[in-house]
Amino acid sequence: MTAQVTLLGVRHHGPGSARAVAAALAALQPDAVLIEGPPEADGLTALAAEKDMVPPVALLGHVSDDPARAAFWPFAEFSPEWVALRHAVDAGVPVRFIDLPAGQSLALGPRGTDPDATFDADGASEEREDAGEEGSGVPGGTSAPAPVDPIAELAAAAGHPDPESWWEDVIEHRTPGADPLAPFAALAEAMAALREHHPVERRDEIREAAMRQQIRAARRAGHQRIAVVCGAWHVPALAAAPTVAHDRALLAELPKKLKTELTWVPWTHRRLSQHTGYGAGIDSPGWYHHLYTTPEQPVVRWTTKVAELLRAEDHPVSSAHVIEAVRLADTLAAMRGRPLPGLAETLDAVRAVMCDGSDLALALIHDRLVVGDALGEVPDGAPAVPLRRDLTRLQRTLRLKPEATSRELVLDLRKDLDAERSRLLHRLRLLGLHWGRPVRDSVQSTGTFRETWRLEWEPEYAVRLVEAGQWGTTVQGAATGRAIADAATAELTALTELAEHCLLAALPDALPEVMRRLADRAALDTDAGHLATALPALVRTLRYGDVRATDTSALTAVALGLAERLCIALPAACTGLDADGARARRTEIDAVHQAIALLADTAVGERWAGTLTALAAREPHGGPATGVPGLLRGRAVRLLLDDGRIDTEEAGRRLGLVLSVASDPLDAAGWVEGLVSGGGAMLLHDPALLGLLDTWLCGVPADTFTDLLPILRRTFSSLETGVRHTIGSRVAAGPLSASVADSAPDVELDAGRADATTPALALLLGLSQPRIPRQPDRRAG
């Protein structure tokens, strides 16, 4: 008896195609099901029947000795291939994948622009750095033919301007009729006509040869009713059945097969909606899932979901809105000549009736419902690298379930569970898995016990885990190995950040090596910019000993050495800078000043004060290239003033010298910016300073004032609003003099009340733990 082979051409991830495949298989009752996909996954098909296997999922294939060369074959609940796989597994009939082996697909490399991505895209999304390269990928081949969109061609032949709307009307909204095979026959005929007028890629010809060989193998195995589910573009080629010799000649062009490993991994609807690297990506997976799972009254039930979503976001939506939106969608479909409302009509109706025309509310609906945040699950029995198994164990132990939706996680590091969660997230960041990202720089707020993270799991992390497996078999071990490897090539700034990460991630085995490398780099690096960037990060690391109970004493010597060398190198590095360079250096000086204050080392503090004094005195007598810019000199004076190294009288004297007629106005304006920015209260408390500044500004020539205006605006815009208003009112009141200060009322200091605040302030600042004295109840007297 001759075997009957039924070719079921589909569109990947099409709910209409999925329903049609389900009906055809129910009618055919095949004794073998062949599906487009990598044959190495045949041993994984039984997992599809596991109750813990919840689509969307994907087959992940990667080269064994090069995990970065990987590809995904995604399946959604509404994917025809998934429907065929579940039918075969549930019915207990053999199921095989019949495309090129993953080892040869990955050896060929990315296919570039896919002319038939709508109906087939190699079935895979490749994750490679060179994923943008074009060409056939076949040795000796030529570049790919001009792309052709089969749906657009068929829609144009039918006189329809919108290909997606036409396909939705003809296929996706269609329910199986009396003859479940009729749609496949019609689609095969249409694809045959298209292939006659459009060239076929050499790569597709090779793949089709491999599929025909698999069909022949199924016949030789004795199967009589064979169902083949593949991209509709391939159906005419599989039906043609050329000779075995012809197919063998095509397959001989393939490169050597690479050794690969395959497994199931969770996937997301959001990833299905991305076309990058995956030609069969779809724009509305959430909508397609709804169409497949809700065949009865899909528009009514969809608008009901929309209403629930909007109500949860505090939008006033009633049942009347739902009824009116459904009616409007039906009316729009009739006006546009469509048999049923599609996504376009439904969204137009929802925008008009339920969103009051707001695109913001519609964007929320598109994100949550049209695309969706569904994340699949795979059973524990799926093959996994040891690192993946360890991460799964930790996720369960720490109650951190991976989710596709973005959510905020607040950790209290004083709790053991939250501290372990923090270490896990930091270790994963070292491995390049940014499942958690710090929010508002909360992780750098190391003086507190609070961390805030934004969690969002991406399917691509499955590949990152395979890649990271080279560093170790556990999360801690892999993070340690990666940190040590990175330290070998990192520069000084990167090393200080790496030391910080090692402490946050609690990697005691990596920290000594990182610190050794850090000490070596710090001893050799002479760039003041590198030293100024590295020191604040290193001092932050030292503070972790207090917050996370970590011993950081070994870093103290490195930090003190960096500070000493920076004090020597900084004055020369501040000479001859342009405006942009001066602003960047000022930011570095501010950060270094705070870091040295936190070091609390008297000798280094005195050395730093001397460096600031030298900066403040280094005026450009021989031109701008011979001295320190006014911005940095003024900033040095301000830092000395804030530390009590000089008083306001000395600061006023220096301001008077800078604002003299002999000084360059632009340099003087920069000096004022360095002095005032970051807090202008000093101008309010010392009228002499404000008077000097006012007198200088009034004497600046008109043409020079225009050049100064941007600097002055930037300087005063950094002041607090109240300070700006007060300065303006005092200047507007008339000439400034010491009488401004005399007008303030005399207030006698109450020493007793002032002393009563000292214990509370000491407690807040962490200086001691005194008992706050109880104040007498003044109401009794």
Q: Is the pLDDT of residue 408 over 50?
A: yes
At 279 the pLDDT is 40
- DSSP assignment of 573-603: HTTT--HHHHHHHHHHHHHHHHHHHHHT-HH
- Position 735 scores a pLDDT of 65
CA–CA separation, 125 and 271 (whole Å):
10
- pLDDT for res 324: 96
- Which pLDDT belongs to residue 436? 93
Residue (of 85, 104, 105) closest to 93 by Cα position? 85
The CA–CA distances, whole Å, from 623 to 104, 573, 614, 629 equal 68, 16, 18, 10
Render pLDDT for 560-613 as a digit per residue (tens, 0 to 9). 888 888 888 888 888 888 888 888 898 889 888 988 888 878 888 889 999 998
Which is more confidently placed, 122 or 560?
A: 560
- Per-residue pLDDT tens for 693-735? 777 777 777 777 787 788 777 777 777 778 778 878 877 777 6
Average pLDDT, stretch 432-447?
70
Looking at residue 124, what is its pLDDT? Answer: 55
Which residues have C-beta within 8 Å of that of residue 284, sequence separation ≥ 6? Answer: 273, 343, 370, 371
209 to 147, 157, 661: CA distances (angstroms): 21, 30, 88
Q: Residue holding tokens 């910019």?
A: 529
Check whether 127 has a pLDDT greater than 50.
no
Q: How far is CA 347 from CA 304, 368, 396, 589, in A?
A: 13, 13, 39, 54
Asked whether the beta carbons of 300 and 326 are under 8 A apart, the reply is: yes
At 738 the pLDDT is 42
Of the candidates 598, 677, 668, which has an alpha carbon nearest to the alpha carbon of residue 639? 677
More confident position, 776 or 33: 33
Q: Are strands 95-97 and 32-35 parallel, antiparallel or unpaired?
A: parallel
Residue 773: pLDDT band with limits 50, 70, 90: very low
Q: Could you tell me which of 361, 23, 66, 339 has the C-alpha nearest to residue 177?
A: 23
Q: Determine the distance from the C-alpha atom of residue 382 to the mean position of all C-alpha atoms in its chain, rounded to a whole number.
A: 27
* pLDDT at residue 417, rounded to an integer: 94
pLDDT band at 661 (very low <50, low <70, confident <90, very high): low
pLDDT for residue 525 is more than 60: yes
- Residues in CB range of 535: below 8 A, 6 or more apart: 496, 559, 562, 563, 566, 591, 592, 595, 596
pLDDT of residue 725: 82
Confidence at residue 111, expressed as pLDDT on a 0 to 100 scale? 61
Q: Which residues pair with residue 408 across a beta bridge?
A: 454
What digits encode the pLDDT tens for the residues 23-54? Answer: 999 999 999 999 999 999 999 999 999 999 99
Q: Strand, coil or helix: what is 724?
A: helix
What are the pLDDT digits (tens) for 212-256?
999 999 999 999 999 999 999 999 999 988 999 999 999 999 999
Do residues 184 and 359 lie in contact, with contact meaning Cβ atoms separated by under 8 Å? no
Lookup: tokens for 602: 């008297």
Task: Read off the pLDDT of each residue in 324-332 and give the average, rounded to a whole number.
Answer: 96
What pLDDT shows up at residue 3?
Answer: 81
Read off the pLDDT of each residue in 427-453 and give the average, rounded to a whole number.
Answer: 77
pLDDT score recorded for residue 308: 96
DSSP designation for 255: P
Give me the pLDDT at residue 346, please: 95
Q: What average pLDDT does the segment 439-457 reach? A: 71
pTM: 0.67
Rounded-to-integer distance, Cα 169 and Cα 164, Å: 9
How is residue 448 annotated by DSSP? Answer: S
Q: Which is more confident, 459 or 397?
A: 397
Spatial separation of the C-alpha atoms in residues 445 and 409, rounded to whole Å: 16
Average pLDDT along the chain: 82
User: Among the listed ranges 16-20, 318-322, 406-410, 548-552, which one has the minimum average pLDDT value?
Assistant: 548-552
What pLDDT does residue 554 have? Answer: 63
pLDDT at 121: 38
pLDDT value at residue 564: 85
pLDDT tens digits, 101-113: 999 999 887 764 3
When comparing pLDDT for 163 and 142, which is higher?
Answer: 163
Q: 453 - beta bridge partners?
A: 409, 438
Q: What is the pLDDT of residue 275?
A: 46
Please report where in the chains the tokens 């934004």 appear, as a residue: 454
Position 344 scores a pLDDT of: 92
Work out the percent of the chain whose per-residue pLDDT is above 90. Answer: 36
Whole-angstrom Cα distance, residue 717 to residue 728? 13
CA distance 423 to 415: 12
On the question of pLDDT at 443 being above 50, the answer is no
Give per-residue burial for 563-573: e unless 16+ CB within 10 Å, then b.
Answer: bebbbebbbeb
> How much is the pLDDT for 118?
40
CA distance 382 to 374: 20
Q: How far is CA 338 from CA 19, 327, 328, 333, 334, in A?
A: 21, 14, 13, 5, 6
Amino acid 425: pLDDT: 96
SS3 assignment, position 229: strand
Mean pLDDT of 661-671: 77
> What's the pLDDT at 472?
86
pLDDT at 448 > cutoff 90: no
pLDDT digits (tens, 9 = 90+) for 282-314: 889 999 999 999 988 999 999 999 999 999 999
What burial letters (b/e) apply to 597-625, b meaning 16+ CB within 10 Å? eebebeebbebbbebbeebbebbbeeebe
E strands, 366-506, in order? 407-412, 436-438, 450-455
**In 3-state terms, what secondary structure has residue 408?**
strand
- The pLDDT tens digits of the residues spanning 360-401 come to 999 999 999 999 888 889 998 888 888 888 999 999 999 999
Mean pLDDT of 747-767: 76
